[in-house]
């Protein structure tokens, strides 16, 4: 089916997961899927550097077309396979505006989540401060409350940009799932919890669930109290 496509990816990487969901939704199964190990630094291998000089994943190739930014790859797939699989960009101008707005806001959520769960990874040992981590955590909680409010306003059973599944869900769900993997409480964020539960049942999500999460279903509890 999609044998002329290659995706180099790492398990649990939200940017990689975005592209995998888009491929599933556009019925592009059968692509050449190359799972790389971050622990072994395989994302810095020549195989990746040949198509992505940043040495990052996702790295994606379709024939001679290289698209490495996850948002760009998702847009490329939607545009190239417009009439195939799920329609990810709604036609209505208002629906489209909300979809674009929320998908780019999703980058803020991703950055703020990373600033908490990967604090020790990003900040060298001698430069870490309790006060900075506390501030990052408060900033994340404020951001999560925004999303909780968006879902509340849309009503139960909604996706992130309305009653239909859209590109916003493709690109933002992996961040939401990562927050829950790191212990976010559905008790504290019931709308996000319901959204997470709804999405977990979707075939594209089941098919692309991070393999190391399947192997080890228990995540961390970093976010349990926020
Ligand atoms: N802007 C890129 C970000 C990709 C990214 O940050 N990938 C991470 C994995 S989640 C990575 O490869 N990190 C290794 C590195 O930067 O050296 C996208 O959204 O595609």
Region 195-201: mean pLDDT is: 98
> So what's the pLDDT on residue 82?
97
> So what's the pLDDT on residue 1?
65
Among protein residues, the one whose CA lies closest to atom 6 of ligand 1: 56
pLDDT averaged over the chain?
97
Q: Mind listing the pLDDT tens digit for each residue in 46-63?
A: 999 999 999 999 999 999
Whether 225 is covered by a domain: the verdict is no
Query: Furthest-apart CA pair in the chain: how many Å?
Result: 53
- What is the ipTM for the molecules in this complex? 0.98
What is the Å distance from ligand 1's center to 127 Cα? 23
- pLDDT band, very low/low/confident/very high, at 189 (cuts 50, 70, 90): very high
The domain of 201 spans 93-215
Q: Are residues 73 and 35 in the same domain?
A: yes
Among protein residues, the one whose CA lies closest to atom 19 of ligand 1: 70
Q: Are residues 35 and 146 in the same domain?
A: no
Structure tokens belonging to residue 155: 């009503």
What is the Å distance from ligand 1's center to 96 Cα? 27
Q: Are residues 117 and 34 in the same domain?
A: no
35 strand-pairing partners: 9
> So what's the pLDDT on residue 75?
98
CATH number at residue 165: 1.20.1050.10
Q: Mind listing the pLDDT tens digit for each residue in 73-114?
A: 999 999 999 999 999 999 999 999 999 999 999 999 999 999
Q: Are residues 127 and 176 in the same domain?
A: yes
Q: Are residues 119 and 173 in the same domain?
A: yes
Residue 159 has pLDDT above 70, yes or no: yes
Nearest ligand 1 atom to the CA of 70 is 20
Q: String of b and e for 103-141 (b: at least 16 CB within 10 Å)?
A: bebbeebbebbbbbbebeeeeeeeeeeeeeeeebbeebb
Residue 143 has pLDDT above 70, yes or no: yes
Nearest ligand 1 atom to the CA of 10 is 9
Q: Are residues 147 and 58 in the same domain?
A: no
Q: Are residues 109 and 197 in the same domain?
A: yes
CATH number at residue 47: 3.40.30.10
**Residues above pLDDT 70, as percent of the chain:** 100
């Amino acid at each position: 089916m999609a044998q002329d496509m290659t995706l180099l990816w790492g398990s649990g990487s939200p940017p990689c997961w975005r592209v995998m969901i888009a491929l599933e939704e556009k019925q592009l199964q059968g692509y050449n899927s190359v799972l790389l190990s971050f622990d072994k630094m395989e994302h810095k291998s020549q195989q990746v550097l040949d198509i992505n000089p940043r040495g990052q994943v996702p790295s994606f190739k379709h024939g001679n077309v290289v698209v490495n930014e996850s948002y760009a790859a998702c847009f490329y797939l939607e545009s190239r396979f417009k009439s195939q699989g799920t329609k990810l960009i709604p036609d209505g101008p208002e629906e489209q505006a909300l979809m674009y707005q929320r998908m780019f806001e999703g980058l803020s959520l991703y950055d703020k989540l990373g600033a908490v769960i990967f604090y020790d990874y990003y900040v060298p040992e001698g430069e870490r401060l309790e006060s900075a981590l506390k501030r990052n955590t408060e900033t994340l909680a404020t951001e999560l409350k925004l999303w909780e409010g968006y879902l509340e306003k849309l009503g139960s059973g909604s996706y992130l940009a309305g009653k239909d599944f859209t590109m916003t869900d493709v690109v933002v769900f992996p961040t939401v799932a990562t927050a829950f993997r790191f212990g976010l409480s559905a008790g504290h964020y019931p709308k996000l919890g319901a959204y997470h539960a709804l999405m977990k049942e979707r075939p594209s999500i089941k098919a692309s669930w991070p393999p190391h999460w399947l192997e080890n279903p228990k995540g961390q509890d970093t976010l349990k109290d926020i």
